[in-house]
A and B are shown apart, each in its own frame.
Chain A
Amino acid sequence: MPLSLLKYGLRRTYPVTGDIAATPDLKPHYDVGIIGGGGHGLACAHYLSSRHGIGSVAVLEKGYLAGGNTARNTTTIRSNYITPQSIAFYKEGVELYGEMAQELDFNVMFSQRGQLTLAHNDSTMRSFHLRAETGKFAGIRAEVVDAGDVRRLCPGLNMDEGGSLEIVGGLWHADGGTARHDAVAWGYAAQAARRGVEIHQRTEVLAIETAGGKATAVVTNRGRIACGQVLIACGGMNYDMGLKAGIEIPIRCYPLQAMVTQPVKPWLHTLVSSVSLHTYLVQSSRGEVVIGGGSDPYQLYATRSTLDMKEQLAAGAVHLFPFIGNLKILRQWAGITDMTPDYSPIMGASPLSNLWLDCGWGTWGFKATPVAGKRLAECIATGRVPDIIKPFALDRFASFSLVNEMGATAASH
């Protein structure tokens, strides 16, 4: 990356090149059809073409590139989960973010600035001790810090001494960070497109044809394509897409709301979240304060905001950093989260032998973009499910072997 940047700087001319070709005509057949042109699907296309030499890949996107939950999440990257299975998986995701800019020759603005989760009472502190020790055992950086450390890590935070939400300590996760969500998707898309992957925008999948325990073709609004293998990775619409293939995935959809303030000078140098307030904050590279965490209280396929959820988010943010009360809200939005019963994703095999699932990403999908893409590419290329994602199989529900991650996030669900 630094060397190519230097070479670029010393050039005499700067020809304009498009990273991604305009949507081509659909061919009648592809080796792999990826449903969903978000971060996960594009990452999978990248790894299929770069690691496994599979270039006959069509990424089918209903709207525009990375315009769904990839554009709507709050870009938190971390691995401080509860179960050893999850920590091992998300740890690989964080590591892949570390090398992503090199891998993609694209500046994804990965900033490993650390994540601080706040505790307002002793019971939260006890759960943090368990998470920190489980994390250390799994090889990630996670430690419990006291109120003094919190103040040092995050000056300007309202400690609420003597109040009902007094900060008594926190879980400090030095591996945590953030990255530019669009750059992640564009970087993967550009690399994949360079190796012949076709990205079809405004191409909606209407039906999935099946025969003899296999998915045979995908019918889109632009024509029918036969696929050797199919991956479902379409975020909020995963449940509906599963139904098209005759598979009922245990997912319930809820909107998750977020917003950003006007940009201010850099002042928040960590990611901060509060489980009690259901609020998390990060200051983006542009200086905007991204505020997230409000799940709607009932099932819905909608990306509208509501005043009551926005008020709740704003109240949490202003409580933690009172000066935010002087800032204006610049943008607000919601994304459809596909929530699973155990708050863990559903990855790998499906009842159809050549159809793979990358579903149930709820409120925790962005951080897993590279690792999910890499591991599902491995599934598709080799036909075998790698050990690291085996705990997240669809059939874990039938055998009651859940991977419980409820409470591993500050989102209000």
Chain B
Amino acid sequence: MKILRCPMNGPRNIQEFQYLGPVRHAPDPEAASDAEWAAYIFHAENRPGVITEWWRHTASNYVFLAERNIVTNTVVRTFDAWEMEQMR
């Protein structure tokens, strides 16, 4: 059993979570070219190493972020989306 630390509910069985995929930064729909829009839709982060991704704790319907190494499957940290806003 793998444990994921939910920023709100603490450490929980990973089966309680839903994976929502890597963070993608949406381009401005008005200004983006077709190529930029296609890249936004079809390309997702897949570099071997640490990536930032969305997760949802299903039971509490709480969506948050995790930094996880997709080679070793170790979670570096999990944090609230508010922090992402601060970083932008």
The chain A residues found within 8 Å of chain B, CB to CB, are 239-240, 243, 248, 250-253, 297-302, 306-308, 341, 397-400
Residue from A248, A299, A341 in contact with B22 in the complex, judged by beta carbons closer than 8 Å: A299
Chain B residues with CB below 8 A from A399, complex form: 38
A302 touches B44 (CB 8 A): no
Given that A252-B46, A299-B51, A299-B70 are contacting pairs, would A398 and B38 also be in contact in the complex, using a CB cutoff of 8 Å? yes
B46 touches A299 (CB 8 A): yes
A250 touches B42 (CB 8 A): yes
Query: Beta-carbon contacts of B9-39 to A below 8 Å, as 1s and 0s?
Result: 0000001001101100000000000110011
| Minimum distance in angstroms from B31 CB to a CB of chain A | 18
Interface residue B59 (Cβ < 8 Å from any Cβ of A): no
If over half of A's interface residues share one DSSP class (helix, strand or loop), that class is named, otherwise mixed; here it is loop
B71 touches A301 (CB 8 A): yes
* A-B residue pair count with CB separations less than 8 angstroms: 50
Given that A397-B38, A398-B35, A400-B38 are contacting pairs, would A301 and B44 also be in contact in the complex, using a CB cutoff of 8 Å? no
Chain B residues with CB below 8 A from A252, complex form: 21-22, 44, 46
Question: How many angstroms from the CA of A307 to the CA of B13 in the assembled complex?
Answer: 13
B48 touches A301 (CB 8 A): yes
Given that A250-B43, A251-B46, A398-B38 are contacting pairs, would A297 and B19 also be in contact in the complex, using a CB cutoff of 8 Å? yes
Chain A residues with CB below 8 A from B43, complex form: 248, 250
Chain A residues with CB below 8 A from B38, complex form: 397-400
Chain A residues with CB below 8 A from B88, complex form: none
| Minimum distance in angstroms from A224 CB to a CB of chain B | 23
A298 touches B19 (CB 8 A): yes
Question: How many angstroms from the CA of A301 to the CA of B73 in the assembled complex?
Answer: 8
Chain B residues with CB below 8 A from A253, complex form: 46, 70
* Chain B residue at minimal CB-CB distance from A402: B42
| Minimum distance in angstroms from A36 CB to a CB of chain B | 16
* Chain B residue at minimal CB-CB distance from A302: B73
The chain B residues found within 8 Å of chain A, CB to CB, are 1-2, 15, 18-19, 21-22, 34-35, 38-39, 41-44, 46-48, 51, 53, 68, 70-71, 73
- Some 19 contacts from A to B, beta carbons below 8 A apart, are A243-B47, A248-B43, A250-B44, A251-B46, A252-B21, A253-B46, A297-B19, A298-B19, A298-B53, A299-B53, A300-B73, A301-B48, A306-B2, A308-B1, A341-B42, A397-B38, A397-B42, A398-B35, A398-B38
Chain A residues with CB below 8 A from B71, complex form: 300-302
B46 touches A398 (CB 8 A): no
Chain A residues with CB below 8 A from B47, complex form: 239-240, 243
* Chain B residue at minimal CB-CB distance from A400: B38
Chain A residues with CB below 8 A from B39, complex form: 398
| Minimum distance in angstroms from A117 CB to a CB of chain B | 27
| Minimum distance in angstroms from B18 CB to a CB of chain A | 8
Question: How many angstroms from the CA of A302 to the CA of B69 in the assembled complex?
Answer: 11
Question: How many angstroms from the CA of A301 to the CA of B47 in the assembled complex?
Answer: 10
B42 touches A239 (CB 8 A): no
* Chain A residue at minimal CB-CB distance from B35: A398
Question: How many angstroms from the CA of A297 to the CA of B73 in the assembled complex?
Answer: 12
Most B CB contacts (10 A, CB to CB) among A239, A253, A299, A300 go to A299
Question: How many angstroms from the CA of A298 to the CA of B34 in the assembled complex?
Answer: 29
Question: How many angstroms from the CA of A239 to the CA of B21 in the assembled complex?
Answer: 17
Chain B residues with CB below 8 A from A306, complex form: 2
| Minimum distance in angstroms from B38 CB to a CB of chain A | 5
B34 touches A398 (CB 8 A): yes
Residue from A243, A301, A397, A400 in contact with B70 in the complex, judged by beta carbons closer than 8 Å: A301
Question: How many angstroms from the CA of A398 to the CA of B38 in the assembled complex?
Answer: 5
Chain A residues with CB below 8 A from B42, complex form: 250, 341, 397
Chain B residues with CB below 8 A from A298, complex form: 19, 53, 68
| Minimum distance in angstroms from B8 CB to a CB of chain A | 19
Query: Nearest 7 pairs between A and B by C-beta?
Result: A298-B19, A250-B42, A397-B42, A341-B42, A398-B38, A301-B71, A239-B46
Question: How many angstroms from the CA of A306 to the CA of B2 in the assembled complex?
Answer: 9
Q: A239-B47, A252-B44, A307-B1 are in contact. List 17 more A-B contacts (CB 8 A).
A: A239-B46, A240-B48, A243-B47, A248-B43, A250-B43, A251-B46, A297-B19, A299-B21, A300-B70, A300-B71, A301-B71, A302-B73, A308-B1, A308-B15, A341-B42, A397-B42, A398-B35
Question: How many angstroms from the CA of A341 to the CA of B24 in the assembled complex?
Answer: 15
Question: How many angstroms from the CA of A243 to the CA of B38 in the assembled complex?
Answer: 18
* Chain A residue at minimal CB-CB distance from B15: A308
Chain B residues with CB below 8 A from A297, complex form: 18-19
Question: How many angstroms from the CA of A297 to the CA of B41 in the assembled complex?
Answer: 20
Chain B residues with CB below 8 A from A239, complex form: 46-47
Chain A residues with CB below 8 A from B34, complex form: 398
